Amino acid sequence: MEEIANFILRAAKLIKNEEVNKALELLIEAYENNKKILVVGAGRSGLVGKAFAMRLMHLGFNVYVLGETITPSVRSGDILVAISGSGSTELILTAARIAKNVGARVIALTSYPDSPLGRLADHVVRIPGRTKIAEERDYFARQILGIHEPLAPLGTLFENTAMAFLDGMISELMKILGKSEDDLRRRHANVELP
């Protein structure tokens, strides 16, 4: 836990304020104009996206998770928030291309701004994090070369950092929009399955 927490603290210092502010601007513009926000990610990044979408809903945003049965079509002026550590997950790229083709704007959260997703996006927030594959695959070669991989496997550091970042975005949106925890609680589910 300490290794992961320390990584997130170091990553927080590397995330650029101007990237954060532009993402907030785009989300607030969508909120004020009642545009849809669609969130997409694959695997654990998708779960992080769902958590973010839930909090946006609590704030009163018109938000959906791509792939759910109740998700409407994306239109011009809508926002697609695409989460991919590598920036090269084909499913996410396909969603981003389609969104761009109909005039939606794409906000990418990725560790690689120069990735296919980063190049396609209207705006990129670089979220530091190790993504799935180590550069040197052979364990003994890594030891000989002195390459130490973090203990957290695969994309864990990106996913945890993205989750903390997006929760921070929610806190900032609460301040900007003048929303209280009571406002969020009123939109929170009151019928939940065990």
Q: What is the pLDDT of residues 67-78, one digit of tens each?
A: 999 999 999 999
Neighbouring CB atoms inside 10 A of 172's CB total 15
What are the extents of the domains in the chain?
Answer: 2-178
Q: 2-178 belongs to which homologous superfamily?
A: Glucose-6-phosphate isomerase like protein; domain 1 (3.40.50.10490)
Determine which of 2-6, 50-54, 61-65, 168-172 has the lowest per-residue pLDDT on average.
Answer: 2-6
Nearest to 79 by CA among 66, 67, 90: 66
Q: How does pLDDT run across 113-172, given as a tens digit for each residue?
A: 999 999 999 999 999 886 544 444 444 444 444 444 555 666 788 999 999 999 999 999
For the chain, first and last CA: distance in Å? 28
Rounded to 5, what percent of the chain is helix, strand, coil? 50, 15, 35
State the chain's mean pLDDT as an integer: 87
Neighbouring CB atoms inside 10 A of 78's CB total 22
- Report, as an integer, the average pLDDT of 28-33: 96
Could you tell me the pTM of the whole model?
0.86
3 state SS of 64: strand
Cβ-contact 82, 40 below 8 angstroms? yes
Neighbouring CB atoms inside 10 A of 69's CB total 4
- Report, as an integer, the average pLDDT of 81-96: 95
Which residues belong to the active site?
159
Q: How does pLDDT run across 100-109, given as a tens digit for each residue?
A: 999 999 999 9
Q: Which residues lie below 8 Å from residue 77, measured CB to CB, with a gap of 6+?
A: 30, 33, 35, 103, 104, 105
